[in-house]
Every structure is written in C-alpha cells, then in structure tokens.
Structure 1
Amino acid sequence: MLSLTIVVLATVAAGFVVWANDKRHSKYGAALPAGIAVGVAALAWIILMAAGFGYLPGLTWLPWILPVVLGTAAAIAAVVYLGRTRARHDTERLTAVLRR
C-alpha cells in the first residue's frame, strides 16, 4: 500500500507541474490535470498489482514507475486538448456576443 501512496503523491505533483507550465491554465482548474493524473495512475497501479507485477523479481519497479509516467502523460494530453478547445470556444462565444 505504500507504493500506491507514493505513486499518488508523485502524480499529483506532476499534475500540478503540468498545470503550472501550461500557458492556457486559466481556462480550467488547477486540480483537473492532477485529478486526471491520479485517476490514471491509480488505475494503472491496480491493474499492474492485480496482474502480479509487484512481486516478480526484476519487475518490482514496474508498478512504481509506469503509473507515474502514464498519469503524467494523461495530464499532458488533457491539458493540450482542454487548452485548445476551451480557448476556441471562449473566442467563439466572445465573437458572438460582440456581434450582437
């Protein structure tokens, strides 16, 4: 259970770093990338532990590193997608309001 705690803490930190480095981070909340990262990482950890990778000699690092990498990648993907779509939708709404 300690490994899940470390994975969650590392991915929360990575999610906040991803949010802080995004130039459009004002378009969505600070907890969104961190929450997505934690959700993906916890699910990956559960799957890897259920598959028995936590107890195989030579592969005990897999449930520690892979969930953090997957969670960070999911946070980056969410930030890229949400940043672009939210900026586009906000611009369209502002243009529609200004044309009235």
Structure 2
Amino acid sequence: MLTLLAVTVVALVIGCAVQLIDRTHQRHSVFLLPGVALLTGLLGWVVMQFTGLGYHPELFWLSWSLPLVATVLVTVGTAWWLGRHRETEDAEALRRVTDT
C-alpha cells in the first residue's frame, strides 16, 4: 500500500508540474493534466500488481517506477497534443468570428 500512496502523490506532483510548465495551459482545464497523470499512474500501478511485479522481490521496484515513467510520458504527450490542436481550433474559431 505504501507504493500506491507513493505513486499517487508523485503522479499528482508530475501532473501539476507539467501543468505549470506548459505554455498553453490556459487552453484547457486546470485539473486536466493532473487528472491524466493520476489516472495513468494508478492504472499503471494496478496493472503492475495484477502482473505480479509488486510481489516479486527482485522486480519490486518496477511496480512503482514504470507507472511513474508512463505518467510522465502520457502527461507530457497530452499537454503537447492538446496545446497543438486547441491552438488550431482557437485560430479557426477566431477567424470565423472576425470574418462575419
């Protein structure tokens, strides 16, 4: 259970850090990136527990490190994808408003 708590706290910290670093954070919700990070971290932890890595003495470290690596990758990817796509959608919406 300590690994679950550690993954939860660190995933939230990663999500908040990516939210603060993201230059386009005003284009989406404040809780979106921390929520994505938390979901990724917890689902990764559950998958690692079901695969048995959390109970194997030599591979125990994988049950908390792999979900955090996945959390970083998915959260940064989400911020990049949302920032890029929302920018084009916002530009198109602004162009439609100014053209009419």
Q: Number of aligned residue pairs: give it.
A: 100
After TM superposition, what 4+ stretches of structure 1 lie above 3 angstroms from structure 2? none
One-letter identity of the residue aligned with 1:45: W
C-alpha distance in 1 between matches for 2:10 and 2:69: 10
Compute the displacement of 1:90 (Å).
0.6
% identity of equivalent residues: 32
SS at match of 1:53: coil
> How far apart are 1:18 and its partner, in Å?
0.6
Q: Could you tell me the TM-score, scaled by structure 2's length?
A: 0.95
Paired residue type of 1:14: I
The code of the aligned residue for 1:99 comes to D
Report the TM-score when normalising by structure 1: 0.95
- SS of residue in 2 equivalent to 1:54: coil
Instruction: Quote the residue 1:25 is aligned against.
Output: 25
How far has the Cα of 1:23 moved from its partner? 0.8
Structure 2: how far apart are the matches of 1:70 and 1:94?
Answer: 35
Over the aligned positions, Cα root-mean-square deviation in angstroms equals: 0.8
Distance 1:99 1:12 in 2: 42
- TM-superposition CA deviations, 1:18-68 (whole Å, max 9, x none): 111111111012211111111111111101111110111221100111101
Runs (5+) with no aligned partner, structure 1: none
Identify the residue that residue 66 of structure 2 maps to in structure 1. Answer: 66
